[in-house]
Structure 1
Amino acid sequence: MIVAVESTSRRLPAPVEAPQAQLAGMWRVVVLNDPVNRMSYVVMVLRRVFGFNEERARRHMLEVHESGRSIVWAGTREQAEAHVFALQQWHLTAIIQPEEPS
């Protein structure tokens, strides 16, 4: 006995792809000036949180002091939020901002 198998070709819906976040350069961590923290303290925090050397941390600190803000890191949103949280735990004023398209 031969049984005929009816083949119905059904098309599965195309999978919906979630938007892929760029690995780098999507969000910026910005340290803002405040009248509370000493310059040496800001340098020390930047060195501990980001692993900056003394010169780089001092450059960012001076930019914060003179311009009121400094972009200290750029990358994925989750990492940016973690860095901002760490900076805030050290009592620095920090925010994240989306990177502006070029």
Structure 2
Amino acid sequence: MSDVLEDVRVDERLRLGQPWTLVVWDDPVNLMTYVTWVFTSYFGFAREKAERLMMQVHVEGKAAVASGSREEIERHVEAMHGYGLHATMQQVD
């Protein structure tokens, strides 16, 4: 039975494609308050989540902010660039 479930999951991943992740990188330009504002206004994150992600960007140099289809994450990358943030996308393994 578990083999059947695993086969279904593999088939689903192949059909949908691997998910992608939006990575926002630290930069020397944008203020922490501004990055928090971008995360709350664009993604609709609660202030606490936005601040946690902003601190991860600040301390660790980057944070995975969103995940989804390639097209969705491409739109997010463009939006982050529009806000002046350095962002890239990575395929999830």
TM-score range, shorter chain: 0.7 to 0.9
Contact 1:26 1:98 (8 Å CA) reproduced:
yes
- The equivalent residue for 2:50 is 57
Aligned to 1:28: 21
- Residue 20 of structure 1: SS of its match in structure 2? helix
Q: Name the SS for the 2:30 alignment partner.
A: coil
2:78 corresponds to: 85
Radius of gyration: which is bigger? Answer: 1
* Higher helix residue share: 2
Q: How does 1:1-102 map to 2 (within 5 A)?
A: 20-22=15-17, 26-100=19-93
What is the CA RMSD across the aligned residues, in angstroms? 1.2
Please, which runs of 5 or more residues in structure 1 have no aligned partner?
A: 1-18
What amino acid does structure 2 have at the position aligned with 1:20? R
In the alignment of these two chains, the number of paired residues is 80
Deviation, 1:48, is 1.4
1:6-44 Cα distance to aligned partner (Å, 9 max, x none): xxxxxxxxxxxxx6224xx61000000000000000000
**In the alignment, residue 53 of structure 1 is paired with which amino acid?**
A
- The answer to whether the 8 A contact 1:27-1:74 is kept is yes
Alpha-carbon distance in 1 for matches of 2:16, 2:25: 26
Instruction: Measure, in 1, the Cα distance between the counterparts of 2:42 and 2:23.
Output: 13
